[in-house]
Chain A
Amino acid sequence: MALAFDDFGRPFIIIKEQEQKTRLRGLDAHKSNISAAKAVAHILRTSLGPKGMDKMMQSPDGDVTITNDGATILEQMDVDNQIAKLMVELSRSQDYEIGDGTTGVVVMAGALLEQAERLLERGIHPIRVAEGYEMASRIAVEHLERIAHKFEFSVTNIEPLVQTCMTTLSSKIVNRCKRSLAEIAVKAVMAVADLERKDVNLDLIKVEGKVGGKLEDTELIYGILVDKDMSHPQMPKQIEDAKIAILTCPFEPPKPKTKHKVDIDTVEKFQTLRQQEQKYFDDMVQQCKDVGATLVICQWGFDDEANHLLMNRNLPAVRWVGGVELELIAIATGGRIVPRFQELTSEKLGKAGLVREKSFGTTKDRMLYIEHCANSRAVTIFIRGGNKMMIEETKRSIHDALCVARNIIRNNSIVYGGGSAEISCSLAVEAAADGYPGVEQYAIRAFADSLDSVPMALAENSGLQPIETLSAVKSQQLKENNPCCGIDCNDIGTNDMREQNVFETLIGKKQQILLATQVVKMILKIDDVISPSDY
């Protein structure tokens, strides 16, 4: 590769190790970028919608994941191409921000690029295309706000929320029990929601899975579930009205942090040291007992002697509890995390109505339920399922449902799903295009066309005739002036998404359009790709 040549045709050395690099520029660069992004979008296209298919991924270590969650697919795909990585980022940011619609955003971006490619071939400058897209996305977002509906729900009437979560869940493998899972998700979100501030801290919802049982056995626990058991096999398995000491210091002999060594040189010292040691354990347990704790939860391990002393003094204890769980327990029980035994006071104890150990199946698996906590703001969703992949996929689906419920609580505007919002926007953008003089008009038209790709993919995946169905719905929207007409994926018999109760959050949809446009703009602005060649 060479950038410049002198009069005799010899290359100037401009870039370090110039011979080993390849360079693509101009239209070629655009084309190669677009084709990479399209390839990624193509993979996800079949996963869109309630009848979308799953993807099976084998990780470098041989573990298998089966999912149709866009963000997860892309993350696990381990792509090498730079532009493809951008698409992965795109899906991830949708996941972080909204939590749902991760597939849609990539399909949308892919369609935008596909349209852009055609425009580029006709000689329109990429920047003009990008600007046109920008204008069009603004029109689309404004239109979305116009067709958005306010969504009414209250603490007592959670049915509408459940319906929304069901829409999200219906595209996942768990749709067999979407009703019960949606209810669980909504109840969980309502339990931790701060309706005044319209905020939901999803960290307070712990999602825990255990292989075995049926999906129907999935339950919501108003409390915390810890995958640990009592430190001593003979401690009581059930504690009522537990007062919990939450400790981050080990029941172990002290480890002086200074470098000094304790030297033993006389018999007396040996004996005092021994007594000290015994007293030390005794003190630790006694301190817990004195403040009135009836359960000790500790982040670290126990020494055998301390363990027995705890048992002996009838003080059940749990060891090796992870830091995150410890925090959740502290939040739920209203206790404080105590780093030293000396600082333990009775006010710092957490309270829980019931702590019990439950065992599963034929193996020795046991889990600890902490229920009826003082502060019921922390909840756990406990997932059961036939196998590990099922559990993982359920976890992801529940996460999506939780995010949707949270988004509605944050902002209760919704748009109707099933592609109806996209079709409506497409019509609006198409209509607005005529008002723009200049080359951008082409780009705006192209934007409208690519908006159609989402309903088109939906129809395709549902086994309908894509073009026929799309045009029918489009004309229906125009004729009836009804932005709620979408693709009838489940073959229910009506196109009206209001009747089918299929809707999505406004912010989610807005974000999809904005994010997709942004990434497409970024990709369009690249006109030179310099990469180290393979060796």
Chain B
Amino acid sequence: VERLFKDEATEEKGERARMASFIGAIAIADLVKTTLGPKGMDKILQSTGRGRSVTVTNDGATILKSLHIDNPAAKVLVDISKVQDDEVGDGTTSVVVLAGELLREAEKLVATKIHPMTIIAGYRMAAECARNALLQRVMDNKEDAEKFKADLMKIAMTTLSSKILSQDKEHFAKLAVDAVMRLKGSTNLESIQIIKKPGGSLRDSFLDEGFILDKKIGIGQPKRIENAKILVANTAMDTDKVKIYGARVRVDSMSRVAEIETAEKEKMREKVQKIIAHGINCFVNRQLIYNFPEELFADAGILAIEHADFDGIERLALVTGGEIASTFDNPESVKLGHCKLIEEIMIGEDKLIHFSGVAMGQACTIVLRGASNHVLDEAERSLHDALCVLSQTVNDSRVLLGGGWPEMVMAQAVDELARKTPGKKSLAIEAFSRALIAIPTIIADNAGLDSADLVAQLRAEHHKETSNAGIDVISGSVGDMAELGISEAFKVKQAVLLSATEAAEMILRVDEIITCAPRRREGM
């Protein structure tokens, strides 16, 4: 056959295509496999860009995001981990590992001449059955506020235990739970602000009920204001431009220049007057404030903060209850923000502005302290994971036990189904259960435990009705997860199960890979 495609394009067919995608996907899964579980290891990522900046992490999504991958099937896995991150925030590693295990099992089945479509049909049945098994065993403590809070605490600790924060997991779990409880059910994580300041130790991190703005107070302005009235603005406080397009200043003598300059100054003074007329004692602007208006504010005893970035402004407006203003002609209709106290505080060596006693109680700030930027970045990612999971759990309060318990429960139910199903599908269903059991196996392996022994024990335990057995990594044995207080959110597990199956199915269905010639870039 003649050449059909362009020069550098390649085409893989049938078995070869399947092999290529299996290998790619399994390689990716193996890559992140070792980060799974409380004793998972971290990875160092070095960027190819200038500066060669280094990231240390064990967050699956972060690792995969930074990889440059050429294998199309591997890209599918990277994609699902990203979606998992966006949707529920945690379980980014598990989803990839599970999908990888499903494909590893599928590879064996394909080798024994079972058609991929049969495998897919089996996997689908198994996934449905596994989900139902989980649904039967969920616990829901929504009614009981005390218990629910305890649940949240457990989930946060479980999530954090696999991260860098595991040393102080109780401290951080408490931080995260407190922060999320303040949101009162909304999933808007924007109102939780995380500020990172190198120095001190991780244990020095704290939750602050107010709002902290990483800015300095202008010179000669009050450093402490009680009962502050805050105007949050987004307006030019440098030289106010004439906005009508094409307008320009053209004068014919020096004296005219001076006149116009005075007029400009006058205009700015008027603007400042108008702002002051709102009866405020604190003015926060997104854009620059020049020396002249700053001086005017200082004269009026008003605290002026310049160049708060956009997020900062939005958040400040949110917490203080003010609106972001850009025109100042009708002071009566502009809503001002309020807070009890504004003061300058010192964290480490930096001065920050602290707003406390804000109108809206939902917002809070978490100040992270740590030895280095790497530690802080990783701590932020971990905390973010925990916050995401918690906020999702607040909405969907169903909770499962952790430590490999859900996988064992699902595996058992799926096994049961396999025995009942006639036909070749049952082989695929069996394989699904094997893939599920691989997860506790990997957790045990990563912790340096005898996985074969532990998993066998687990299986025996789970053969009894309603067992709470899971792997206790700390003591290296099988333990009661309910007693140990290891919990996970149902929503996360469900998302892991469904997206992993979906991804595996997608890759299994492929029997041909066509790679187009890479686009030529100019100057290469």
Bound state CA distance, A389 and B115, in angstroms? 23
The answer to whether A212 and B87 have CB atoms under 8 Å apart is yes
Bound state CA distance, A214 and B2, in angstroms? 43
Q: Is B242 an interface residue (CB 8 A)?
A: yes
Contact of A359 among B73, B188, B318 (CB under 8 A): B188
Q: Is B506 an interface residue (CB 8 A)?
A: yes
List B260-296 residues whose CB lies under 8 Å from chain A.
260, 262-264, 267
The answer to whether B2 and A36 have CB atoms under 8 Å apart is yes
Contact A261/B5 with A234-B317, A234-B323, A266-B256 known, Cβ cut-off 8 Å: no
Contact of B117 among A51, A81, A234, A281 (CB under 8 A): A51
Bound state CA distance, A36 and B1, in angstroms? 7
Contact A264/B514 with A308-B325, A362-B187, A386-B499 known, Cβ cut-off 8 Å: no
Q: Is B348 an interface residue (CB 8 A)?
A: no
List B107-127 residues whose CB lies under 8 Å from chain A.
115-117, 124
Bound state CA distance, A304 and B243, in angstroms? 11
Give the interface centre of A58, A81, A365 by most chain B CB atoms within 10 Å: A58
The answer to whether B6 and A388 have CB atoms under 8 Å apart is no
The answer to whether A56 and B512 have CB atoms under 8 Å apart is yes
The answer to whether A362 and B80 have CB atoms under 8 Å apart is no
Contact of A265 among B9, B73, B256, B326 (CB under 8 A): B256
Q: Is B247 an interface residue (CB 8 A)?
A: yes
The answer to whether A36 and B72 have CB atoms under 8 Å apart is no
Give chain B residues whose Cβ lies under 8 Å from the Cβ of A173: 505-506, 509
Contact of A387 among B251, B499, B512, B514 (CB under 8 A): B499
Contact of A273 among B242, B250, B324, B514 (CB under 8 A): B242
B124: nearest chain-A partner, CB-CB: A176
Give chain B residues whose Cβ lies under 8 Å from the Cβ of A254: 244-245
Give the interface centre of A43, A211, A304 by most chain B CB atoms within 10 Å: A304
Give chain B residues whose Cβ lies under 8 Å from the Cβ of A388: 79, 83
List A454-481 residues whose CB lies under 8 Å from chain B.
463
Q: Is B518 an interface residue (CB 8 A)?
A: yes
The answer to whether A80 and B189 have CB atoms under 8 Å apart is no
Contact A57/B514 with A305-B326, A312-B333 known, Cβ cut-off 8 Å: yes
Give chain A residues whose Cβ lies under 8 Å from the Cβ of B493: none
Give chain B residues whose Cβ lies under 8 Å from the Cβ of A387: 76, 79-80, 82-83, 499, 502-503
Contact A362/B189 with A62-B518, A256-B245, A273-B244 known, Cβ cut-off 8 Å: yes
The answer to whether B244 and A253 have CB atoms under 8 Å apart is yes
List A199-240 residues whose CB lies under 8 Å from chain B.
211-215, 232-234
Contact of B263 among A176, A253, A270, A311 (CB under 8 A): A270
The answer to whether A32 and B256 have CB atoms under 8 Å apart is no
Bound state CA distance, A68 and B505, in angstroms? 14
Bound state CA distance, A162 and B505, in angstroms? 25
List A37-78 residues whose CB lies under 8 Å from chain B.
38-40, 43, 46, 51, 53-62, 64, 66, 68, 73, 76-78
The answer to whether A265 and B251 have CB atoms under 8 Å apart is yes
Bound state CA distance, A54 and B86, in angstroms? 27
Contact A311/B256 with A51-B117, A78-B5, A362-B89 known, Cβ cut-off 8 Å: no
Give chain A residues whose Cβ lies under 8 Å from the Cβ of B334: 312
List B362-396 residues whose CB lies under 8 Å from chain A.
388, 391-392
List B214-270 residues whose CB lies under 8 Å from chain A.
234-235, 242-252, 256, 259-260, 262-264, 267
The answer to whether B509 and A54 have CB atoms under 8 Å apart is yes
The answer to whether B116 and A233 have CB atoms under 8 Å apart is no
The answer to whether A307 and B247 have CB atoms under 8 Å apart is no
Q: Is B513 an interface residue (CB 8 A)?
A: yes
Give chain A residues whose Cβ lies under 8 Å from the Cβ of B260: 264, 266-267, 270
Q: What total of chain B residues lie within 8 Å of the partner, measured CB to CB? A: 84
The answer to whether A264 and B249 have CB atoms under 8 Å apart is yes
Give chain B residues whose Cβ lies under 8 Å from the Cβ of A232: 324
Contact of B79 among A32, A303, A389, A463 (CB under 8 A): A389
Bound state CA distance, A173 and B250, in angstroms? 68
Give chain B residues whose Cβ lies under 8 Å from the Cβ of A40: 4
Contact of B234 among A81, A261, A308, A359 (CB under 8 A): A308
Contact of A35 among B2, B80, B246 (CB under 8 A): B2
Contact of B324 among A32, A61, A233, A276 (CB under 8 A): A233
Q: Mark A294-313, 1 if CB is under 8 A from B, else 0.
A: 00000000011101110110
Give chain B residues whose Cβ lies under 8 Å from the Cβ of A365: 86
List B144-184 residues whose CB lies under 8 Å from chain A.
none
Bound state CA distance, A212 and B334, in angstroms? 38
Give chain A residues whose Cβ lies under 8 Å from the Cβ of B85: 362
Q: Mark A159-176, 1 if CB is under 8 A from B, else 0.
A: 000000000000001001
Contact of A54 among B190, B330, B511 (CB under 8 A): B511
Q: Is B3 an interface residue (CB 8 A)?
A: yes
Size category, A interface: 35 or more
Bound state CA distance, A212 and B392, in angstroms? 14
List A360-389 residues whose CB lies under 8 Å from chain B.
361-365, 385-389
Q: Is A16 an interface residue (CB 8 A)?
A: no
Give chain B residues whose Cβ lies under 8 Å from the Cβ of A260: 246
B190: nearest chain-A partner, CB-CB: A364
The answer to whether A54 and B510 have CB atoms under 8 Å apart is yes
Q: Is A274 an interface residue (CB 8 A)?
A: yes
Q: Is B327 an interface residue (CB 8 A)?
A: yes
Q: Is B519 an interface residue (CB 8 A)?
A: yes
Q: Is B421 an interface residue (CB 8 A)?
A: no
The answer to whether A389 and B76 have CB atoms under 8 Å apart is yes
Give chain B residues whose Cβ lies under 8 Å from the Cβ of A303: 243
B69: nearest chain-A partner, CB-CB: A62
Q: Is A277 an interface residue (CB 8 A)?
A: yes
Give chain A residues whose Cβ lies under 8 Å from the Cβ of B82: 387
The answer to whether B4 and A56 have CB atoms under 8 Å apart is no
Bound state CA distance, A54 and B116, in angstroms? 11
Q: Is A494 an interface residue (CB 8 A)?
A: no
Min CB–CB distance A461 → chain B (angstroms): 9
Q: Is A84 an interface residue (CB 8 A)?
A: yes
Contact of B246 among A58, A213, A261, A390 (CB under 8 A): A261
Give chain B residues whose Cβ lies under 8 Å from the Cβ of A362: 85-89, 187, 189, 388, 391-392
Bound state CA distance, A252 and B188, in angstroms? 31
A256: nearest chain-B partner, CB-CB: B246
Min CB–CB distance B117 → chain A (angstroms): 5
Q: Is A324 an interface residue (CB 8 A)?
A: no
Give chain A residues whose Cβ lies under 8 Å from the Cβ of B244: 253-254, 256, 262, 273, 276-277, 280
Give chain A residues whose Cβ lies under 8 Å from the Cβ of B498: 214, 386
Contact of A305 among B235, B516, B518 (CB under 8 A): B235
Min CB–CB distance A87 → chain B (angstroms): 10
Bound state CA distance, A277 and B247, in angstroms? 11
Give chain A residues whose Cβ lies under 8 Å from the Cβ of B518: 60, 62
B264: nearest chain-A partner, CB-CB: A270
Q: Is A271 an interface residue (CB 8 A)?
A: yes
Contact A312/B327 with A261-B248, A276-B244 known, Cβ cut-off 8 Å: yes
Give chain B residues whose Cβ lies under 8 Å from the Cβ of A78: 5-6, 9, 516-517
Contact of A390 among B72, B262, B502 (CB under 8 A): B502
Give chain A residues whose Cβ lies under 8 Å from the Cβ of B7: 80
The answer to whether B80 and A56 have CB atoms under 8 Å apart is no
Bound state CA distance, A305 and B329, in angstroms? 11
Q: Is A278 an interface residue (CB 8 A)?
A: yes
The 4 closest A-B pairs by CB, nearest first: A308-B326, A53-B511, A60-B519, A253-B243
Known contacts A56-B21, A78-B6, A389-B506; 4 additional CB pairs below 8 A are A43-B514, A276-B244, A361-B187, A387-B80
A-B contact pairs, 14 of them (CB 8 A): A35-B2, A53-B116, A60-B519, A173-B505, A213-B87, A255-B245, A265-B249, A265-B250, A267-B260, A273-B244, A359-B188, A361-B88, A386-B498, A389-B79
